[in-house]
């Protein structure tokens, strides 16, 4: 007997639908962001445990540390280009300002041209 895990194999042509709002998505792996995750039983407090099929990491869905899905990130990218304030983007997309600040820092520190998204004063 091999493991009793059920692998939901997603046909490649469906993969680009995964990020769309309203479509059920599997959790993304917090390590490699792969969506090839499978349910992996429950941990001691009853929370659903998941395992990433790509890197093998096990993780638990944590509402305190909710993963931001790709559709939301795409939207955030667009809003940043529209020069909306971080506070405004956070309100529109429902992410925390702290998360957003980190996201922007992480994103724009890697590109050569600096984009000043936080230059505006709040309440402007
Ligand atoms: Zn992974």
CA of 35 to the centre of ligand 1 (A): 8
pLDDT digits (tens, 9 = 90+) for 9-64: 544 444 444 444 433 446 788 889 888 888 888 888 788 888 999 999 998 876 54
pLDDT digits (tens, 9 = 90+) for 68-110: 888 889 999 999 999 889 999 999 888 888 889 988 888 877 6
What pTM does this model have?
Answer: 0.38
CA of 115 to the centre of ligand 1 (A): 30
Token pair for 108: 């724009």
Q: Cα 88–71–121 angle (5° rounding)?
A: 15
Categorize the per-residue pLDDT at 121 as very low, low, confident or very high, splitting at 50, 70 and 90.
low
CA of 38 to the centre of ligand 1 (A): 11
Residues near 101 by beta carbon (within 8 Å), at least 6 away in sequence: 86, 118
CA of 40 to the centre of ligand 1 (A): 14
Please check whether residue 58 is in contact with residue 40, taking contact to mean a CB–CB distance below 8 angstroms: yes
Conformation bin of residue 3: beta by default, left when phi > 0, alpha when psi is -120 to 50:
beta
Torsion of CA 77, 83, 89, 91, to 10 degrees: -160
- Average pLDDT (1-8) is 49
89 exposed, middle or buried (CB, 10 Å; 0-12, 13-18, 19+)? buried
pLDDT of residue 87: 92
CA of 27 to the centre of ligand 1 (A): 10
Domain residue extents for the chain: 12-64, 70-108
CA of 117 to the centre of ligand 1 (A): 31
């Amino acid at each position: 007997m091999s493991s009793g895990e059920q692998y939901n194999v997603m046909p490649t042509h469906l993969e680009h639908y995964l990020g769309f709002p309203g479509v059920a998505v599997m959790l993304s792996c917090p390590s490699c962001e792969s969506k090839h995750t499978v349910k992996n039983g429950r941990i001691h407090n009853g929370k659903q445990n998941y395992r990433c099929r790509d890197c093998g990491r096990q993780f638990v869905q944590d509402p305190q540390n909710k993963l931001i899905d790709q559709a939301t990130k795409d939207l955030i990218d667009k809003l940043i280009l529209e020069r909306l304030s971080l506070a405004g983007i956070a309100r529109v997309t429902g992410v925390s300002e702290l998360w957003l600040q980190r996201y922007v820092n992480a994103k724009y520190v890697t590109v050569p041209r600096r984009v000043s998204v936080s230059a505006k004063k709040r309440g402007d």
